[in-house]
Amino acid sequence: MAFASFAEFIAMGGHATYVWAAWGVTSVLLAGCVLHARAERRQLMRSLARRERREQRLAARRGEATMESHQSGGES
Amino acid sequence: MWSFIHKLGSPKWFYGISARLMPWFWVAAAVLIAVGSVWGLAFAPADYQQGNSFRIIYVHVPAAFLAQSIFVSMAVAGVVFMVWKIKVADMAAAMMAPLGAAMTFIALFSGAVWGVPTWGTWWMWDARLTSMLILLFLYLGVIALRGAFTSRDSASRAASVLAMVGVINIPIIKYSVDWWYTLHQPASFTITSRPAMPTEMWLPLLIMVLGFYSFFIALTLMRTRSEILRRESSKRWVRELAVEER
Amino acid sequence: MPRGESRLIDDARLASRGEPRTGLAVAVWATLKRDLTQLARRRGDVLNPLVFFALVITLFPIGISPDPELLATIAPGLLWVAALLSALLSLDSLFRSDFDDGSLEQLLLAPHPLPMLGLAKVAVHWLLTGLPLALMAPVLGIMLSLPAGSYLMLAVSLALGSASLSLIGAIGAALTVGLSRGGVLLSLLVLPLYIPVLIFGAGAVQASILGDGAAAHLAILGALLALALMLAPWAIAAALRISING
């Protein structure tokens, strides 16, 4: 341990502003990268699922329509 | 060998294998960065010349390493994409560029902040900082060029060519800037070049560097997986996947 | 041998005799001649960079100070930066008109290696931009009270360096020629790559002012030019293919 107390650790021997500014910006940017990647993935999955649901709905509707036409047109 | 390359070229295969690899890299990144930070911030001895301000080295140097490595990886991915037409390589390259720019920014910012207690000024035309600044412009150029094209294929190929041109130029730029700096400022000392670091100083640095590399790999894998889904969204396996994960 | 077939062969022989020669040298020479004639007709494109060069040099004494001693110390750098920006200004039109009227596409379809044809176009650009800038620089040097004895070095270093600038710049011009607003992007792509040339070009003039030999600088400028000559044509050709097909 290079420091005697926690207060000394925060003070960084008088260089607190510089050390914590550099480390702070770095950790914010790294965390931002992770959060951005997670949000990106979640949004993507949601939009893919939405699209899939819509297409299934459309397919189902189309299926009903063909069924009806088949019934009215008799067996073929 | 060739079958391996072609397997790697299949986005679906890559999506599967990266799912298994990614957690390991995330764990490695988290552990290494946590250990390196605590060690570097609290346990490493203060520098006899710079005092505690030298602890900035533990973010400055890993970020600077990564900034250069990411550009090289981007160019390698560009070559792989241009030669073997492997789309995954281009997706990875596209995802790497913003992270590389962010790392360059971190290196620049921490270098500038470090300059205040060391040189008494926020900015010096130090050789290392100057070549970092130029590297940032190179990254911005690649990102801007990719964004300027409407056709995705042209954008990918143009960005690959520019990354290759850039990577040939990086060493030339670095050496010429070093040379220029020694000519104009003969006897001032650079922040990170020191004769010999004691073990308890460079070991946490090594750990941080490894942690940053793991972070880069994990994040690139994760974002490449998203990019695969985005570009292959009309493929059958992606659609099945979307239904499963709902 | 049936009669019809022999006649066919005869016809082919006749045709090959009557056709113009189509060697690589002929194609390169034709490209050179065509571009020179075209630029001779559009004198504005040739004159604008020179006027711009003179204008920028006029701005500096007004913006900084008319003090001859101060100007003399910064003159080498100013002249080099201004010349570099003037060369950059003319790059956007390097392939633009050929792209617009479709003759670039014809160049791609020609049975000759595209890198060589691109090199011919770059040579014309250097002849009509780099060389005039180098010849004009000493005159502007007088206005900035550039110390005596460095005028020849200024012209020589600019002539040598601007050839590399044209080659590197042509890569950027080829990458952005298909984009509607490529001008600003072009400078973002190209300027970082210009830095080594600027360092050694301005360094040569500075060295000749200080009385050191500038031969080393010229040698490095020559080496940069050799490297650019070797690699840039391929990058230009690849970039042109991307811009045309995209």
Using CA atoms, how far residue B34 sits from B204, B209, C46, C187, C200, in Å, is 10, 12, 60, 41, 44
Specify if B161 maps to a domain: yes
With 0-12 / 13-18 / 19 or more C-beta atoms within 10 angstroms meaning exposed / middle / buried, residue C131 is middle
The position carrying tokens 């047109």 is A73
Q: Is the pLDDT of residue C72 over 80?
A: yes
Radius of gyration from C-alpha coordinates of chain C: 22
Q: Is the pLDDT of residue C12 over 60?
A: no
CB within 8 A of C189, min separation 6: which ones? B141, B144, B145, B162, C172, C175, C176
Q: What is the DSSP letter of B51?
A: B
Q: Which of A1, A6, A12, A19 to mutate to test the interface with B (most CBs of B within 10 A)?
A: A19
**Sign (positive/negative) of CA torsion C35, C38, C41, C44?**
negative
Specify if A56 maps to a domain: yes
Q: Per the structure, how many domains does chain B have?
A: 1
Specify if B239 maps to a domain: no
Q: Per the structure, how many domains does chain A have?
A: 1
Question: Are B138 and B166 a contacting pair, CB within 8 Å?
Answer: yes
Specify if B198 maps to a domain: yes
Angle at C122 between CA C116 and CA C127, to 5 degrees: 125
Question: Are C166 and C120 a contacting pair, CB within 8 Å?
Answer: no
User: Quick one: which H or E segment has residue A67?
Assistant: helix A16-73
Read off the pLDDT of each residue in C180-208 and give the average, rounded to a whole number.
Answer: 90
Other CB atoms within 10 Å distance of the CB of residue C33: 12
pLDDT score recorded for residue C202: 92
User: Using the beta-carbon criterion (under 8 Å), do B148 and C176 form an inter-chain contact?
Assistant: yes
pLDDT score recorded for residue A75: 45
pLDDT score recorded for residue B37: 93
Chains that touch A (3 or more CB pairs under 8 A): B
Q: How far apart are CA C123 and CA C126, in angstroms?
A: 5
User: Using the beta-carbon criterion (under 8 Å), do B44 and A41 form an inter-chain contact?
Assistant: no
**B83: containing domain:** 20-231
pTM of the model: 0.88
Q: For residue range C137-157, list pLDDT tens digits in order.
A: 999 999 998 888 889 999 999
Q: For residue range C91-117, list pLDDT tens digits in order.
A: 888 888 888 888 888 888 888 888 998
The position carrying tokens 């890569």 is C171
Specify if B6 maps to a domain: no
Q: Which residue has the higher pLDDT, C149 or C238?
A: C238
Q: What is the mean pLDDT of chain B?
A: 87
Specify if C179 maps to a domain: yes
Q: Which residue has the higher pLDDT, A35 or C97?
A: A35
Q: What is the largest CA-CA distance in chain A?
A: 92
* Token duo for residue B39: 């060690």
Of C9-13, C41-45, C131-135, least confident by mean pLDDT is C9-13
B236 touches chain A (CB under 8 A): no
Q: How far apart are CA C65 and CA B129, in angstroms?
A: 30
Q: Is the pLDDT of residue C20 over 70?
A: no
Q: How far apart are CA B145 and CA C222, in angstroms?
A: 30
User: Using the beta-carbon criterion (under 8 Å), do B56 and A19 form an inter-chain contact?
Assistant: yes
**A50: containing domain:** 41-66
The position carrying tokens 């970082």 is C192
Q: Which of C181, C242, C244 to mutate to test the interface with B (most CBs of B within 10 A)?
A: C242
Q: Per the structure, how many domains does chain C have?
A: 1
- Chains C and A touch each other (3 or more Cβ pairs < 8 A): no
Q: For residue range B174-229, list pLDDT tens digits in order.
A: 888 888 887 765 444 455 555 567 778 888 999 999 999 999 999 999 999 999 99
User: Using the beta-carbon criterion (under 8 Å), do B158 and C242 form an inter-chain contact?
Assistant: yes
Q: Is the pLDDT of residue B159 over 80?
A: yes
One-letter amino acid at B108 equals L
**C237: containing domain:** 24-245
A54 touches chain B (CB under 8 A): no
Chain A residues close to B220, C-beta within 8 Å: none
User: Using the beta-carbon criterion (under 8 Å), do C242 and B138 form an inter-chain contact?
Assistant: no
Specify if C17 maps to a domain: no
Q: Using 50, 70 and 90 to split pLDDT, how confident is the model at C40?
A: confident
Q: How far apart are CA C141 and CA C125, in angstroms?
A: 23
Q: Which residue has the higher pLDDT, C181 or B27?
A: B27
Q: What is the mean pLDDT of chain C?
A: 86
